[in-house]
Amino acid sequence: MTFRKLCFILAGIAILSFAAGPATAADTIKLAYIDPLSGGFANVGDAGQKHFQYMADIINGRGGVLGKKIEIVPFDNKISAKESLIQLKNAIDQGIVFITQGNGSSVAGALIEAINKHNKRNPENPVLYFNYAAVTPAFTEEKCSFWHFRFDAHVDMKIAAITDYIKGRSDIKKIYLINQDYVFGHAVRDAAISMLKEKRPDIEIVGNTLHPLIKVKDFSPYIAKIQASGADAVITGNWGADQSLLVKSGKDSGLDVEWYTFYGGGLGSPAAIGAAGEGRLKQVTEWHNALSTEENQPADEKFYLGYQEKYSDGGRAPYYYGRIRTMMEMFVLALEKAGKAEPTAVAFALEDMQYDTPYGTVTMRGFDHQLIQPLYISTMTKVGTQGVKYDVENTGLGWKTDGRVEAEDTAMPSPCVMKRPKK
Amino acid sequence: MNCDKYKNGNIAMSLLLKYGAWIGAAIIAFGLPAIVRSSYGLSLLSQVGIAIIFALSYNMLLGQGGMLSFGHAVFYGLGGFLTIHVINIINGGSLPIPLELVPLAGGFGALLFGIVFGWISTKRAGTTFALISLGIGELIASSALMLPSFFGGEEGISGDRMLETTLTWFEFAQQIDVYYLIAFWMLVSMVFMYLLTQTPLGRLANAVRDNPVRTPFIGYDVHRVRTIQYALSSLFAGVAGGLFAINYEILTAETIGAIESGNVLMMTYIGGVGHFFGPILGAVLVTFMQISLSNITHAWLLYFGLLFMGMVLWAPNGLAGIIMVHEPVWKAKLMKKLLPGYALAAIPALVLFLGVMILIEINYHLSLSINPDAPMHMFGIEFDARAPVAWGISIVLIVVGFVFLRRTVKTLNRSWQEITQIMKKGAD
Amino acid sequence: MLEYIIFSLLNSLLYGMLLFMLSSGLTLIFSMMGVLNFAHASFFMLGAYFAFQISVYIGFWPALILAPLIVGFLGALVERYGLRTVHKYGHVAELLFTVGLAYLIEESVNLIWGRSSVDYRVPDALDFAAFTLFTTDLSAYRVFMLVISVSMFVVLFLILTRTRIGLIIQAALTHPDGVSALGHNVPGVFMLVFGGGCSLAALAGVIGGNYLVTEPAMAAQLGPIVFVVVVVGGMGSLTGAFVASLLLGTLQTFAVGIEYSLSDLLAFFGVTMEAGGILKDIWRIQVSHTGPILPYLFMVLMLIFRPKGIMGKRES
């Protein structure tokens, strides 16, 4: 036997030992959770998984749905579109037909495309996708798909809520826009400019800056520009380090503005921003941890504390995605209404479904699959002052509601033209 | 492959051996779908095929040309983006190119960029070249998000690979069709890249790598040789990118970025830069680790890092180097002298690995899993991660494994010395 | 406008000094050993995390001393048991060793401190505005950062010019072989320089960690920019690194203020661009958007046209 032959035989054995994926029995209803579970964004992905697991615990504690338990099956996509598509195949191979994902519009866009193609090419074996956090408006507008449901308010809806709130704040005269230089940042900027012009034509937009994504370490030059412009408020879609460094840098320069953000309470941000955000940092969300006390909802408070007890890692990663609760409850209702765990039937059941959350009725709009829900503007406030009871991420700072924007006021028109399968 | 050194007159035999490897590769590439039927398995294999082309093209720089690049994904990504744009143009109806040939669009596009960037960056090799490649990589990756009309912004550019015109009967709706296309291009690229190493250019690239001062004396322009090598390497990276575009039907900015550049570096290095087939092994192993290991354990990045460090420290010639070291021993029919030593060393090595693995898994469970209080499962055994028993066992395993490994490695080294002695005598 | 210019100058100085603290160690290591330490920013991160942990237990001030010492010791260990082993395989192996090390350090930080940012705050004693000029505050902590970095520069300068070991290091920067031939323990000096360089990075981490954000990604984000400083400054020149840091600080700070794009430039010459085609975005990018990527452009151009750097003594 030659050395080369030996190598071939060993290689052959290695190939044969690679077995095909295992088949799974359908004794549970599986929801594939495709999000980053390793690498730089794993903290966000882990937190999302805990939210879903908590909801599954609760639903299964009630006896499950259709006589079956719900099982969350995590898949690590490392926030890469490529790996997400491979993991999607993996999930489909395991017989999973319900997919959820939230982090990164790049991943969401890739999944929507891939699921559209899969369902077209394999009509007998469709897959349904629930998006809980990717906010590019196009997903429920030009790119809308029958197989995609979004449970988060998209960029334009969030800006609509912020501008609705600013409409009533006559003390704000000058606004500065600073955003990351990519599609999302551009969308925030454009929406803010057009809606401010419409709702408060007297407001002057004193600056409009884009900066490269996650490349800026020192924001003080930008702060100097904001300072020089004399702005009263800043609207920004920045997330992660771009947001924390911006707000911290503002505090260091004594910049006196209100920060209107999307992700001020986003996982990890409160700890990173800390005291720099007190009284200044505002966020727009469908839920925050002071709502239950402010609106006297003991059941929701119990729900929140249950999560804090079991999954929050000693309070360091608190409950954040109010919409995951809404999504899972609506998923259960849709399964019951459809009577079977079959994607097409569940999708039809979800269309135009209404659901009563502790904070008002939400509607899954049928023609574009966008959830319409009330939104809250809240400010980072020290615990113990102004009735704030719970802090976030052990910072001693919590949230206090400034205003509520009703669901119908956040609804945006959509040019969606959807192709539907036969019922 | 580099058996040429050992051929001793029997040309027919060595020819058969040479082509045997290629025939074997083709049989494996086209026969695998018979074993792997799941669409996940096929996607994995498709990704492996793409990674093989990409890693081999990278080795044209690092292994054959001595140029350490931190920005090779630029060409992979540009090739991919060009291909997806071409696919969209074809779908628009104005360009009748069959899908099978579309990867070439990515390849030749990348070639053009490769000529430009190669000319700029290859005046010097070594650290200067590495830093220029890093700088160019950062520049292109940053501008990818700023130029959404070409790179598609965050959502990237998507397309539909089911074109009207195809050369074959495949319609590319299913993964298996795409896999065969990737396998075909993989084999073609492999053959061409191998043939390139046999051309005067390939030999010159080696000469430039080994002694850039002396090469000009024999009449060759170092800068030009490097530029050509660089540009050709970009061509194959572009083909890999083109196949990526067909396989995933979407291109996002991540494809062009530093992570992908780092990945291909690690693949190539782990596989081994000194042998033509090294990067193939690396591409297979690393792709499997990244995609399937991450579903098994969240600690995979740590294992991956440890593997890479281990290779750098103890096996700088990579997996291929480890294998090829044994070739002369096998030829001299002395393997039987080594096997007992290996068997003996394998046991404590396994014990050590097991101990380290348990320790890592316990720590990951405690600090990064979604519910640290839940019991852990390993090898079908359920236990509490906080229990001192688990810690104790893992530490004992590590200590015992380490102590015995050191001893057995000494024995192994002795038998290696013996064998070297014998082989020297045989040579004399 | 005057306010904006003054504060932009101040910002340039502050950012430049932070960059210098980070890169001075790397310049020393790179010039002397020829190793481009990819893990340098990881030691910066370790400095920040150790400082956070120490400040939880005993406070910020001890951390200012202890964290750099611990990291310096770790760095020396890495040199002794890691780099020296791979040295025989050449520079590529050494470089890859540091790449792998950066990888492992990041994963270990994830494992120990978790994946989110830690709440490492500016000490209360320095959490006030030092002075207010026009309408902008300058926080006491930034003044403190400036003091630390300037004094570090002075101490480093004194050590290198006034002590025996400093002279050996200086000699080894430019003529490593000659120093070795004179009978000095060059491996020992290497270990010292590597450890020292790491502890300088760690000091930058201690004072930069709470000014920026202490999170596992901080190393990967700062890594490449440090190379830019080293390359632009030039091999074997601390002064070069100093000048390059300030230059890059200024470049980035002032670019933010310039709101002109290519199309504006063309318009100035009377040419109007039709916005269309696949590359139409190039025309709309304003200089202010590009601030943080300018350094890379600068680095590439520098390497192509003057690989010695601004004040380098020799090429790599």
In whole angstroms, what is the distance from residue A233 CA to residue B235 CA? Answer: 50
Same domain, B51 and B109: yes
Rounded alpha-carbon distances, angstroms, from residue B410 to B319, B335, B345, B423, C196: 21, 18, 9, 20, 36
Which pLDDT band holds residue A49 (cuts at 50, 70, 90)? Answer: very high
User: Is the Cβ pair A217, C225 closer than 8 Å?
Assistant: yes
In whole angstroms, what is the distance from residue A207 CA to residue A205 CA? Answer: 6
In chain B, residues 356-395 whose CB comes closer than 8 Å to chain A: 368, 370-372
Q: Is residue A278 part of a domain?
A: yes
User: Is the Cβ pair C215, A268 closer than 8 Å?
Assistant: yes
Beta-carbon contacts of residue C45 (< 8 Å; ≥ 6 apart): C105, C106, C109, C205, C209, C214, C216, C218, C219
Cβ atoms of residues B99 and B172 within 8 Å: yes
Helix axes B39-65, B175-198, angle to 10 degrees: 20
Same domain, B171 and B221: yes
Q: Which domain holds residue A193?
A: 156-285
In whole angstroms, what is the distance from residue C15 CA to residue A333 CA? Answer: 55
**A367-400 pLDDT per residue, tens:** 999 999 999 999 999 988 888 889 998 888 999 9
Domain count, chain A: 1
**What residues pair up with A69 in beta bridges, in sequence order?**
A28
For chain A, the average pLDDT equals 88
User: Is the Cβ pair C303, B135 closer than 8 Å?
Assistant: yes
Q: In the prediction, which pLDDT does A17 show?
A: 53
Average pLDDT over residues A335-342: 92
Rounded alpha-carbon distances, angstroms, from residue C274 to A181, A182, C279, C281, C283: 22, 22, 11, 11, 10
Average pLDDT over residues A233-255: 90
Q: Is residue A207 part of a domain?
A: yes
In whole angstroms, what is the distance from residue B223 CA to residue A263 CA? Answer: 50
Same domain, B115 and B255: yes
In whole angstroms, what is the distance from residue C107 CA to residue C183 CA? Answer: 41
Q: In the prediction, which pLDDT does A334 show?
A: 95
Q: In the prediction, which pLDDT does A373 show?
A: 94
Q: Is residue A127 part of a domain?
A: no
Same domain, B262 and B173: yes
Cβ atoms of residues B260 and B73 within 8 Å: yes
**Minimal C-alpha gap between C40 and chain A (Å):** 17
User: Is the Cβ pair A38, B32 closer than 8 Å?
Assistant: no
Pick the residue with more confidence: B317 or C276? B317
Nearest Cα to C252, choosing from A247, A185, A212, A231?
A212
> What single letter denotes the amino acid at residue B258?
A
Q: Is residue A296 part of a domain?
A: no
Nearest Cα to A134, choosing from A151, A157, A158?
A151
The alpha carbon of residue A323 and the mean position of all alpha carbons in its chain are separated, in whole angstroms, by: 8
Q: Which two tokens stand for residue B50?
A: 């793409």
Q: Is the pLDDT of residue B366 over 70?
A: yes
Which residues in chain C have their CB less than 8 angstroms from residue B369's CB?
A: none
Q: In the prediction, which pLDDT does A25 show?
A: 46
**A175-228 pLDDT per residue, tens:** 999 998 887 888 899 999 999 999 999 999 998 888 887 778 788 888 988 988
B250 and chain A in contact, CB less than 8 A: yes
Phi, psi of A177 (to 5 degrees): -110, 125
A267 and chain C in contact, CB less than 8 A: yes
User: DSSP assignment, residue A392?
Assistant: S
Helix residue ranges per DSSP H, chain C: 2-33, 40-57, 60-78, 84-86, 91-113, 140-162, 164-174, 176-181, 186-209, 218-233, 238-255, 262-268, 281-284, 287-290, 294-305
Q: Is residue A189 part of a domain?
A: yes
A18 and chain B in contact, CB less than 8 A: yes
Q: In the prediction, which pLDDT does A241 show?
A: 84
Q: Roughly how many angstroms between the first and final C-alpha of chain C, as a whole number? A: 43
**B402-412 pLDDT per residue, tens:** 999 888 888 88
Which pLDDT band holds residue B9 (cuts at 50, 70, 90)? Answer: low
The CATH number linked to A202 is 3.40.50.2300
Q: Which two tokens stand for residue B390?
A: 């688990």
Q: In the prediction, which pLDDT does B4 show?
A: 47
Q: Which of B38, B291, B326 sits opposite A21 (nearest CB)?
A: B38
**A402-411 pLDDT per residue, tens:** 999 999 999 9
Q: Is residue B325 part of a domain?
A: no
Same domain, B85 and B192: yes
Sign of the CA dihedral running B288, B293, B294, B295: positive
Count of Cβ atoms closer than 10 Å to residue B387 Cβ:
13
Q: In the prediction, which pLDDT does A20 show?
A: 39
Q: Is residue B230 part of a domain?
A: yes
Q: Which of B283, B298, B313 is the last residue in one of the domains? A: B298
Same domain, B255 and B390: no
In chain B, residues 289-328 whose CB comes closer than 8 Å to chain A: 290-291, 294-295, 298, 300-301, 323, 326-327
Same domain, B282 and B340: no
Same domain, B45 and B177: yes
* Count of positions (residues) in chain A: 423
Phi, psi of A24 (to 5 degrees): -120, 145
A42 and chain C in contact, CB less than 8 A: yes
B368 and chain C in contact, CB less than 8 A: yes
CA dihedral B27, B29, B35, B41 (to 10 degrees): 180
User: Is the Cβ pair A43, C115 closer than 8 Å?
Assistant: yes
A349 and chain C in contact, CB less than 8 A: no
B145 and chain C in contact, CB less than 8 A: no
Q: pTM here?
A: 0.87
Q: Is residue B384 part of a domain?
A: yes
Same domain, B91 and B33: yes
Helix residue ranges per DSSP H, A142-268: 155-167, 183-199, 220-229, 240-252
User: Is the Cβ pair B309, C93 closer than 8 Å?
Assistant: no
Interface test with B, best of A78, A112, A143, A182 (most B CBs within 10 A): A182
Domain count, chain B: 2
Same domain, B83 and B228: yes
Q: Is residue A123 part of a domain?
A: no
The alpha carbon of residue A352 and the mean position of all alpha carbons in its chain are separated, in whole angstroms, by: 21
Q: Which of A104, A113, A181 sits opposite B249 (nearest CB)?
A: A113
Pick the residue with more confidence: B24 or A147? A147
Q: Which of B139, B147, B308 sits opposite C279 (nearest CB)?
A: B147
Nearest Cα to A178, choosing from C291, B37, B298, C245?
C291
In whole angstroms, what is the distance from residue C52 CA to residue C60 CA? Answer: 8
Q: Which domain holds residue B163?
A: 3-298
SS3 B166: coil
**C7-59 pLDDT per residue, tens:** 888 888 888 988 898 888 888 888 777 788 889 999 999 999 999 999 989 88
Strands laid side by side in the A148-150 sheet: A69-76, A28-35, A98-101, A128-131, A148-150
Poorest-pLDDT segment among A55-59, B185-189, B344-348: B344-348
Give every residue of chain C whose pLDDT is below 50, as ranges: none
